[in-house]
Amino acid sequence: MNQIEQEINERILKLKIVKLRKRGLSRSKVALKLGITIKKVRYWEKKYDLKGTIESTKPTGRKSIKTQEISDIIETETKNNRTLSCERLSNLLKESHDIEMSGTSVWRIREALKFKYKAPKVKPKLTEQSKIKDSILLNTIWKNKQIGKKVVFTDETWFYLESLNGFIWRQWGENDDSVYREKEKYGKKIMFFGGINSNWMSTLIKCPKIVNSESYQNNIISRCRVFSDMDKEYGQWNWLLMQDGAPAHTSNSTKEYLSNKCLVLKNWPPNSPDLNPIENLWGIMGRRISKESPNSERKLELIVRKVWKNIEWEVIENLINSMEKRLRLVVELNGESINGYF
């Protein structure tokens, strides 16, 4: 590029900067739009002095910048790299945006923007078939609210001794892919089985390491009191058992076993924790358990049982009452995951 072409390009850039600034865009947004630094925006504002049109850029001691502009930059850079620490972002602001700010100040602005340093959200990988099954469930249950209230939601879950790491910065209500991680099973862990209903909580059952049809029937579902308690509450055949599509739940042996015990809600997708309110209960328990910091499997089991026993009934009622909204939201989202909405 010769000198004449360079001068022409610089003039065009100046005019673009001034035009965008006149339209009310902040320096940070102009810089992002044109692919340049805020430092360069300031430089051309100074060279192209429009008195009274663009705010003065004459330095008076330490360079100043509007709080809103800083917030815009911090929000953008945080979303570009969600693992960035406050100190590293402080250095980035100085190097790329000519802004001097301490890590503590960066933390305060992130807090004001409602960013929290938390583990990524988790969502299941749903097949198209399971999405379709999710979307038709509204036509299966909860149209009749009396029937819906008689559904018993059951599920197994793992609780891990090791706490989750790899925290990221995310804002309340964010649901794009960058705030999620794939759920991995690792380390020392214990599996538990539980069930909830609008009027009932099961006994919490510790599961064997491998759950097959035989262990599910003899050591889990038969021991949680669901059959005796629900028959007493509603009468036999007057309530529905909800279980996911795991092989141990849907084998011919288990189907035959349950056919003599209760009615089973059919067509529940095997990989769809979105709709089952007990999944949210596991999440609530996980947060409470992590505060106890168990350091052995035995202590982990004791804490899990204590947390289950102390779950407030209001929590259960709120989860059960959210079921109709869950089903309608799944239909609105064409069967997509609703993890993160509740």
Q: What is the pLDDT of residues 173-216, one digit of tens each?
A: 777 777 776 554 456 889 999 999 988 999 999 999 889 999 99
Distance of CA 284 to the CA centre of its chain: 13
Q: How many alpha carbons fall within 13 Å on the CB side of residue 241?
A: 30
Distance of CA 315 to the CA centre of its chain: 19
Q: Which amino acid is at 75?
A: E
Residue 263's DSSP bridge partners are 240
Provide the 8-state DSSP code for 217.
I
- The residue-averaged pLDDT of 71-100 equals 90
What's the CA gap between 294 and 274, in Å, rounded?
28
What's the CA gap between 192 and 215, in Å, rounded?
13
pLDDT score for 326: 72
Are the C-beta atoms of 104 and 154 separated by less than 8 Å? no
Beta-carbon neighbour count of residue 288 at 10 Å?
16
pTM summary value: 0.56
User: Which of 41, 45, 49 lies closest to 72 in space, CA to CA?
Assistant: 41
Check pLDDT > 90 for residue 226. yes
- The residue-averaged pLDDT of 307-321 equals 93
What's the CA gap between 201 and 154, in Å, rounded?
10
Q: Which amino acid is at 167?
A: F
